[in-house]
A and B are shown apart, each in its own frame.
Chain A
Amino acid sequence: MKKLNFYFNVLFIAAMSLTLFSCEDEETTVDPNPLDTAHFDIWVSIGGTGGMGSENTQLVQNTKDLDNASTVIDYKGTGVDVTAKLFQESIIKGQYYYQIPQEKDRFGKYRIGTTGIETIKEIAFGTNTYKDRRYAHAWIDDNTFVVLAANGDKDGIIWTKFNAADMTIIAEGTLEGLTDGLDAYSTSGLADYRASDNQILYSYCHNSSSKRDKVYMAFINANDMSVVKTVEDNRASFMAGTAYGQLLQDKAFFDENGDYYLACNTKIDDGNTSSTEQYGSLLRIKAGATDFDQSYLGYRTGSNGKGKLITVQSLESGKALLYVQDPEYTQAAGWGSNYNCFYAILDLTTDEITVLDLPFSEGTFSQRSVVLGNKAYVGVNPENSAPCVYVYDIENKKLTKGLTITEGYSFDRIVTLEDAK
């Protein structure tokens, strides 16, 4: 959803322009091309995934050519090697990456160009200190974001509010007023900002995987970070991400109606399964509401109800794009096997699942799909061909093949960013 903010901005400006333009000629309504002012960063790594603290070499290359099926990108002698400085897990908005970098003692604002990393500004932690890659974040406005995470003892949730423009700390503290009764909080939760009532929705769970049996949601006043209300829902055991927020993967979104959808998972408990074997579900908080919508449980019918939700993104029009791990549906050997993931469209109203006609893909620590304009760019890493991107036309529901990445890299992430001005 965060990445869509940019699109909304672009769309808003475009709409305003069109309004003005329409005064002259109402028959000419050309959709602006978001890529006129934006580009994609494609993250790959060598020797395995680059995220989650991996020490593998990470490379980033800018491109606008995701749509072009004849484009093949390689990183030999090109792209930026960010291994020594940046993590793949990052807050991304506008032209910039915001993150705790490899130094682990600061927050920084960075731009990745074609030849290197530009450090815009770095600031030391204030009173609150965070662990690299393990924090949640929410944008309150274009220039303000807040990060949240459990403290080292896991007995409190700390937060820091930043001015993104000049990278200064606006305020920081510890959440007060949580009524969950938990004795240990998950390393990080998932956070999103709801503009309608100026509240941050922060979901979290118990820190111990064996004690996770419900999802908690704190409604936080974004002005003073006071907890307005704490609610819980035991229809799922935990959120789809419990440590890394949404720094790498999208786990929650607002739809066009302002309803908030939260991806959750529950351990498949047949007595002898690992905690990574899970089935997913979507919980909803209606626009303006301060509790889970008990009338809704999404992703009930998908893939025999056993698939684990890896990423979820809004496609608008009542649809969501899901990336699901399910060895049963993909007929893989098991949860630890490769190529046991697939993409699907979920109808948020009917809960109908439409599996996209794409090869099964490998990798559960990746975010290879982005939504930009009326297209969803869906990256796959299939077993029998080179990793590539498919372009899904949201309106026409058509898939066409796009850019290909030279075989041999671990295809980790697609990011949309504004072009440098």
Chain B
Amino acid sequence: MEVLRIVIILLLCLLTINVSAQKSFLLSGVIRDTSNTPITQAMVTIENTNIGAYTDSNGSYSMKVKPGEHTISISAYGFNLQKETIKINNSTNHNFTLKKLLVDISEIQVYGKTTSQQLREGSFTVNALEVRNITSSLSDLNNLVGKSSGIKIREEGGVGSDFDLSINGLSGNAVRYFIDGVPLSSMGNGVSLANLPVNIVDRIEVYKGVVPAHLGSDALGGAINIITKKDKQNYLDASYGIGSFNTHKADFNSRYVHPKSGLFFQSSVGINYSKNNYIMKDVETRIDNKFVTTDAERFHDDYLSLLTQFIVGINNTKWADLFSISASYFNADKDVQTGSNQKHVYGMVTQNNQTYHVSAQYRKSKFLTKKLSTDIHISYTWDYKTTTDTAYRKYYWDGSYSPSQRNERLGGAKSIRHINTPLGIVRGNFTYTINNKHSLNLNYLLNHLTNDLYDDLDKEFKSSQNVFSRHIVGLSYNQQLWNNKLNNAFFIKDYISHLEIGQDGNYWITGAREINQSTVTNNYGYGFSSRYSFNEQIALKASYEHTFRLPLAEELLGDGLNRVANFKLKPEHSQNYNFGIFGTFNKGSKHHLFYETGLFYRPVEDYIRYVADINEGDGGQYQNVNNVTVKGIEGELRYDYSNTLGFIANITYLDERNKTKYQDNGKPDISYNNRIPNRPWLFGNLEINYRKENPFGRRNTLLRLSYVYQYVHWQYFSWQAYGYEPGKSRVPSQYMNNADLTYSLNNEKYNISFHCKNILNQTIYDNFRMQKPGRYFFLKLRIFLN
């Protein structure tokens, strides 16, 4: 309630901001580019005042100005800054024409609104993160996403380790990942934010709770959409980085466009390698049959991933705005050092992921009719995952081992376990523009896979093959009213799943005989998002979605290792509410302050959780076990001074409660309404950026310095209220200090950056007893030619 009170006071304070009504004249007009196309979200400011306005979707602006001579400054993303002095004696209509930048727009920062900022100021609650501008200094995308508001990434180790990303408290499979609107899994189950080449990415959109229908998502907690670069020009972008713990990263991205035909060829490669041989502090190892605490180097944590992609396509023909065919290959070899607890040490377990992927995309505006545009994507993926666990050894942290009678991970017989998952995806997106204020969008997403499990060595393992299809249809209506002050989107979604069971083993556990061999489920979701902008300083947004998340293949069909199938699994569902307030204060053209705060509420039912097996044998299965409610508040401030000094601060508070009143046996659950343990609930980030053009007197150079402080408050490992409190296990508070230094030459063609993570070399855990790397240095060289 205290938090709510503060928000209400803040709201009232902001509402009382009043623009003084002195005698003034109206200055209005239209901003266009040289081809006479209106420019939206261009910023028009009166120098040395705090008066300014953004253009609407027609490129129009208007503002009240005192009489006299004024210098008008117009800036827009991708255009040259323009200044003009005009005399105002009465209401004046004045149009401006901006010239496009001739260089890559990433090299210039202007105060016009970027796509990301426009997205942030849209009706959905979204973190829009620019990658393009910081490609030179970024080592991986997790680093960027993890420090944004409301997001927490919990990593289990170093490069290539498993991680869990939560959006406003909901994590794991509740979050869906997309790349250009298509499920990221189409590139392979092993492809993630952690190993995707940084320099193919333009920006990342993180939708919190309410997800637009065009993503075709059945996400419960939100969705992450990675937008790749689509520059229509030739370029070559190559980088190589070397870091602590024998880490090497190389990214290559190039594009050639044939100017006459519009044909283009794009290739990209991303390589990640690390030995991850960082020091584990205060771990136990064995000396003479006794356990002693010591520091030890990780010895079986090598990770090597390779992602290659080749795209050939054509732009701007009569029959297509874009038509492309793409093929990619992904391979990851990973040594598995530990189990779910760092005390479970492995020395020989390995995993391999291999994925082959082909796809085609067709995009066309004025498709069939003048007002219809379409975007169609078809892909097929061959995904192979192999886990090898054949050593009869028991390893210790010093790398020594003793002979054992069982394999390392499952404690059973030697095993080479395969999961082959051929996956087909079809996405069709159609937008019908009724007029410039109203549009309809229809999205269809088909996800069809086969899950083929078998083991080369373990005779006890029962092979299986199941087929699972998911269809998600979304229809949305978007409107922009009252000169774009009010922006609404209404949508409905239909979630359909089709399961064909091809296994009968353990039918009393999997429920294989309790449902039809071929089963179809159908659920409807709906929602809206709305934003009302009072003025530049204050805007309100609200959104709601009744959403379902269909079980994933692994949850429904098992993983062949320690997850048993559960064919009776129901979709989990929630009502997601967001309410936010945001705005921008500009003082002259130098001071810019953006603020945003949001409240969220997520009552989740039939939450799908992994439940350890209470029958004989290993592992367990996913079950609809409980109801959970997450509510919280988050806030972010962004300040920029003259494109030189910037501050970003955000903080998130979560209150995640168990709302399961009764246990499976029908009796009350003592933990009802208690805070869910072992989840971060208070965390924040502070980022300070300094940018200096032409430092040290050298022209066309740029120096960037960045410092990031990340904080996560401690949490209980198990239920807080029960048991003697001083004796309870905790995941301790985390304080992490990171710094970046980037120096660019020749208009950012040549870049060198130096990154230091965990400067103070503190022992850091994201999860209970899963130690992360200590101080980490990374040096990156990047060449960008266009």
Interface of A toward B, CB cutoff 8 Å: 46-49, 51-55, 57, 59, 75-81, 83-84, 102-106, 114-117, 122-129, 131-132, 134, 151-154, 156, 158, 169, 184, 187, 207-208, 242-244, 272, 274-276, 338-339, 362-363, 365, 381, 383, 406-410
Q: Is the CB of B614 within 8 A of A49?
A: yes
| Cβ-defined partner of A129 (8 Å) among B402, B413, B668 | B402
Q: Considering the complex, give the chain A residue whose CB is closest to the CB of B618.
A: A53
Q: Majority SS of interface residues in chain A?
A: loop
Smallest beta-carbon distance B757→chain A, Å: 28
Q: Is the CB of B616 within 8 A of A243?
A: yes
Smallest beta-carbon distance A74→chain B, Å: 9
The tally of CB-CB contacts under 8 A between chains A and B is 180
Q: Is the CB of A52 within 8 A of B768?
A: no
Assuming A79-B722, A84-B717, A152-B411, is B394 touching A103 (CB within 8 A)?
A: no
| Cβ-defined partner of B670 (8 Å) among A46, A53, A114, A208 | A46
Q: Considering the complex, give the chain B residue whose CB is closest to the CB of A57.
A: B718
Q: For residue B721, which residues in chain A have a CB less than 8 angstroms away from its CB?
A: 76-77
Smallest beta-carbon distance B241→chain A, Å: 36
Q: Is the CB of B723 within 8 A of A105?
A: no
The digit string for B607-622, where 1 denotes a CB below 8 A from any CB of A, is 0000111111100100
The residues in B between 96 and 115 inclusive whose CB is less than 8 angstroms from any CB of A are: none
Q: Is the CB of B402 within 8 A of A81?
A: no
Choose among B402, B507, B672 the residue with the greatest number of A CB atoms under 10 Å from its CB.
Answer: B402
Q: For residue A115, which residues in chain B have a CB less than 8 angstroms away from its CB?
A: 724, 726-727
Q: Is the CB of B394 within 8 A of A83?
A: no
Cα distance A83–B406 when bound, in Å? 25
Q: Is the CB of A105 within 8 A of B718?
A: no
Segment at the A interface, from B202-210, B338-346, B355-363, B549-557: B338-346
Q: For residue B343, which residues in chain A have a CB less than 8 angstroms away from its CB?
A: 102-105
Cα distance A84–B718 when bound, in Å? 8
Cα distance A123–B412 when bound, in Å? 22
| Cβ-defined partner of A131 (8 Å) among B403, B411, B724 | B411
Is B289 close to A, CB under 8 A? yes
Q: For residue A158, which residues in chain B have a CB less than 8 angstroms away from its CB?
A: 405
Q: Is the CB of A242 within 8 A of B413?
A: no
Q: Is the CB of A129 within 8 A of B670?
A: no
Q: Is the CB of A124 within 8 A of B286?
A: yes
The digit string for B389-426, where 1 denotes a CB below 8 A from any CB of A, is 00010101000001111110001111000000000000
Cα distance A77–B411 when bound, in Å? 36
Q: Considering the complex, give the chain A residue whose CB is closest to the CB of B619.
A: A53
Given contacts A46-B670, A78-B724, A127-B402, 8 further A-B contacts (CB under 8 A): A46-B722, A81-B723, A104-B344, A116-B727, A152-B412, A156-B405, A169-B289, A408-B670
Is B521 close to A, CB under 8 A? no
Q: Is the CB of A275 within 8 A of B722?
A: no
Q: Considering the complex, give the chain A residue whose CB is closest to the CB of B660.
A: A47
Q: Is the CB of A51 within 8 A of B614?
A: yes
Cα distance A379–B397 when bound, in Å? 43
Q: Is the CB of A75 within 8 A of B723?
A: yes
Q: Majority SS of interface residues in chain B?
A: loop
Q: Is the CB of A127 within 8 A of B616?
A: no
Q: For residue B229, which residues in chain A have a CB less than 8 angstroms away from its CB?
A: none
Q: Is the CB of A274 within 8 A of B663?
A: no
Smallest beta-carbon distance B673→chain A, Å: 11
Assuming A46-B671, A338-B665, is B406 touching A59 (CB within 8 A)?
A: no
Q: For residue A408, which residues in chain B have a CB less than 8 angstroms away from its CB?
A: 667-672
27 residue pairs of the A-B complex, CB under 8 angstroms, read A52-B614, A53-B613, A76-B721, A78-B723, A81-B718, A83-B718, A103-B284, A103-B344, A104-B344, A106-B291, A123-B291, A124-B286, A124-B290, A126-B289, A126-B402, A129-B404, A129-B406, A131-B411, A152-B406, A152-B413, A153-B406, A242-B616, A275-B508, A338-B664, A363-B665, A381-B665, A383-B665
Smallest beta-carbon distance A296→chain B, Å: 28
Q: Is the CB of A59 within 8 A of B723?
A: yes
Is B666 close to A, CB under 8 A? yes
Assuming A105-B343, A129-B402, is B665 touching A365 (CB within 8 A)?
A: no
Assuming A51-B614, A54-B614, A339-B665, is B345 touching A105 (CB within 8 A)?
A: yes
Smallest beta-carbon distance B160→chain A, Å: 24
Smallest beta-carbon distance A75→chain B, Å: 5
Q: For residue B345, which residues in chain A have a CB less than 8 angstroms away from its CB?
A: 105
The digit string for B366-399, where 1 denotes a CB below 8 A from any CB of A, is 0000000000000000000000000010101000
Cα distance A349–B290 when bound, in Å? 50
Smallest beta-carbon distance A260→chain B, Å: 24
Smallest beta-carbon distance B282→chain A, Å: 14
Assuming A115-B724, A124-B290, A276-B615, is B394 touching A153 (CB within 8 A)?
A: no
Q: For residue A365, which residues in chain B have a CB less than 8 angstroms away from its CB?
A: 614
Is B728 close to A, CB under 8 A? yes
Q: For residue B402, which residues in chain A have a CB less than 8 angstroms away from its CB?
A: 124-127, 129
Smallest beta-carbon distance A174→chain B, Å: 8
**Band of interface residues on B:** 35 or more
Assuming A53-B612, A77-B721, A80-B723, is B664 touching A131 (CB within 8 A)?
A: no
| Cβ-defined partner of A75 (8 Å) among B290, B414, B667, B722 | B722
Cα distance A267–B665 when bound, in Å? 24
Q: For residue B717, which residues in chain A have a CB less than 8 angstroms away from its CB?
A: 83-84
Q: For residue B769, which residues in chain A have a CB less than 8 angstroms away from its CB?
A: 84
Cα distance A102–B612 when bound, in Å? 14
Q: For residue A244, which residues in chain B have a CB less than 8 angstroms away from its CB?
A: 616
Is B256 close to A, CB under 8 A? no
Assuming A54-B612, A77-B721, A104-B343, is B291 touching A151 (CB within 8 A)?
A: no
Cα distance A77–B727 when bound, in Å? 10
Q: For residue A272, which residues in chain B have a CB less than 8 angstroms away from its CB?
A: 513
Q: For residue B724, which residues in chain A have a CB less than 8 angstroms away from its CB?
A: 77-81, 114-116
Q: Considering the complex, give the chain B residue whose CB is closest to the CB of A184.
A: B460
Q: For residue B513, which residues in chain A have a CB less than 8 angstroms away from its CB?
A: 272
Choose among A51, A105, A169, A242 the residue with the greatest number of B CB atoms under 10 Å from its CB.
Answer: A105
Cα distance A207–B721 when bound, in Å? 42
Assuming A55-B612, A410-B663, is B290 touching A123 (CB within 8 A)?
A: yes
Is B641 close to A, CB under 8 A? no
Is B93 close to A, CB under 8 A? no
Smallest beta-carbon distance B129→chain A, Å: 34
Choose among B406, B414, B728 the residue with the greatest number of A CB atoms under 10 Å from its CB.
Answer: B406
Is B588 close to A, CB under 8 A? no
Q: Is the CB of B664 within 8 A of A76?
A: no
Q: For residue B290, which residues in chain A have a CB less than 8 angstroms away from its CB?
A: 122-124
Q: For residue A124, which residues in chain B have a CB less than 8 angstroms away from its CB?
A: 286, 289-291, 396, 402
Choose among B616, B666, B717, B725 the residue with the greatest number of A CB atoms under 10 Å from its CB.
Answer: B616
Smallest beta-carbon distance A332→chain B, Å: 11
Q: For residue B677, which residues in chain A have a CB less than 8 angstroms away from its CB?
A: 57
Smallest beta-carbon distance B626→chain A, Å: 7
Q: For residue B723, which residues in chain A have a CB less than 8 angstroms away from its CB?
A: 57, 59, 75, 77-81
Smallest beta-carbon distance A189→chain B, Å: 13
Assuming A102-B341, A128-B405, A338-B666, is B722 touching A208 (CB within 8 A)?
A: no
Is B729 close to A, CB under 8 A? yes
Cα distance A187–B412 when bound, in Å? 9
Q: For residue A128, which residues in chain B have a CB less than 8 angstroms away from its CB?
A: 405
Q: For residue A77, which residues in chain B have a CB less than 8 angstroms away from its CB?
A: 721-725
Q: For residue A114, which residues in chain B have a CB less than 8 angstroms away from its CB?
A: 724
Cα distance A103–B284 when bound, in Å? 10
Q: Is the CB of B341 within 8 A of A129?
A: no
Q: For residue A78, which residues in chain B have a CB less than 8 angstroms away from its CB?
A: 723-724
Cα distance A323–B770 when bound, in Å? 41
* Those 7 A-B pairs whose CB atoms lie nearest each other, nearest first: A152-B406, A408-B670, A274-B508, A81-B723, A151-B405, A131-B411, A57-B718
| Cβ-defined partner of A187 (8 Å) among B344, B616, B671 | B616
Q: For residue A54, which residues in chain B have a CB less than 8 angstroms away from its CB?
A: 611-612, 614
Cα distance A79–B726 when bound, in Å? 11
Q: Considering the complex, give the chain B residue whose CB is closest to the CB of A406.
A: B670
